[in-house]
Amino acid sequence: MPDIPFSIDLAFPTCIPHKYDRHLERRLSSMEGMFLDTQAFKELQSKGDSLMYEVYEIHRPEIPGELLSGISIVHPGKVGNEFFMTKGHFHSVLETAEIYYCLKGEGVMIMENPEGDTSIEPLVPGKILYVPPRWAHRSVCTGRQNDLVTFFIYPGNAGHDYGTIIKRGFRKLIVDSTDGYKSIDNPNWKTG
Amino acid sequence: MPDIPFSIDLAFPTCIPHKYDRHLERRLSSMEGMFLDTQAFKELQSKGDSLMYEVYEIHRPEIPGELLSGISIVHPGKVGNEFFMTKGHFHSVLETAEIYYCLKGEGVMIMENPEGDTSIEPLVPGKILYVPPRWAHRSVCTGRQNDLVTFFIYPGNAGHDYGTIIKRGFRKLIVDSTDGYKSIDNPNWKTG
């Protein structure tokens, strides 16, 4: 039996794939310490363990030459003044890229590299975002009503390094503002 | 100056990227010998050198860990009973995959591996197609009026082997039929 081609339909308007290999749900409780306003975090948590984001993975062997892909859905919401977002990560093999294609909603990608450069790119439907090798990335849903839905692809051997972000945080945060959103320096960002 | 993230807007409804690094145009004359009906090919050519497909490339270094991407546009048309299509290719590094996301139009991907397995997958908007390592691939526009538009991503070090297909052809052809299209065996397919 050869390794055969396959295709997957996205069900519009939700964009949830009709088949996938794994469905991850990330709730508020799994992101303790990642938001600036710890009081708002506790208050929100007291109302229930909100679903923050979901990932539908299309799995393939985790080796060079392969491509891993899936759909990421970040739900609308805020913790204090900060929008719902993904944990964010570097790739374990740092010299690997990632491409996002925005299907639905509005948001931004927060990115930074180990050298201290930062970048914030808006995401709207029809936008292709290129995350170069070495850049950590976190998606943020800035829409008030709608999910941010993206299709992502990265090299099979990339792997995920969540630990560095859990320890340090991102240098930039995305918060609510009268213009829609704004980026601020993270006062809790840690070196080394 | 670090290697910074960037994003590219697709201009709907055409889906032509607002910036790109290279625009390739493939005309009828560059595909001599690739269609079954050589008489129809000559007759069509006598009317002008039709634009068959176009590619807008988003270029990155051609090394492992990088991702190459772009937009492919196959125009509607036929040579005899066979639909307009791309040249098709294996990757030079055979053990590399490719992912297509169909943005617009209708068509199919013809695929085959060196072991002689074949696969034909329909392409419609919202479909993600996974081409595993080892599989040659050719897009075919089966729409009568509209372009087939896809977004493609493959590993930076994959490379293109067009020569094998130019010499052998694909094992399967896609021709017009009352049901829209059908697949037939290629009588000109060559071994070795």
Query: What is the structure's pLDDT at A32?
Result: 95
pLDDT exceeds cutoff 70 at B1? no
Please state the rounded mean pLDDT for residues B83-98: 98
Query: What is the structure's pLDDT at A63?
Result: 97
Structural domains of chain B, count: 1
Is residue B137 a part of any domain in this protein? yes
pLDDT exceeds cutoff 90 at B190? no
Is residue A5 a part of any domain in this protein? no
Return residues 43-72 of A near B (CB < 8 Å): 58, 60, 64-67, 69
Question: Within chain A, which residues score under 50 in pLDDT?
Answer: none
What is the pTM (predicted TM-score) of this model? Answer: 0.96
Q: B69: nearest CA in chain A?
A: A99
Q: What is the complex's ipTM, to 2 decimals?
A: 0.96
Query: What is the structure's pLDDT at B158?
Result: 98
Shortest Cα distance, chain A CAs vs residue B167, angstroms: 23
CATH of the domain at A67: 2.60.120.10
Is residue B4 a part of any domain in this protein? no
Flag if B66 and A133 touch (Cβ within 8 Å). yes
More confident residue, B191 or A148: A148
Taking only the tens place, the pLDDT of each residue in B132-178 is 999 999 999 999 999 999 999 999 999 999 999 999 999 999 999 99
Is residue A4 a part of any domain in this protein? no
Is residue A127 a part of any domain in this protein? yes
Please state the rounded mean pLDDT for residues B116-126: 97
What percent of chain B has a predicted confidence (pLDDT) above 90? Answer: 95
Query: What is the structure's pLDDT at B179?
Result: 87
Q: B135: nearest CA in chain A?
A: A5
What domain range is B56 assigned to? 23-185
Is residue B129 a part of any domain in this protein? yes
Closest CB to A8 among B2, B128, B133 = B128
Return residues 127-166 of B near A (CB < 8 Å): 127-135, 151, 153-156, 158
Whether A92 contacts A81, CB under 8 Å: no
Is residue A192 a part of any domain in this protein? no
Query: What is the structure's pLDDT at A179?
Result: 87
Is residue A15 a part of any domain in this protein? yes
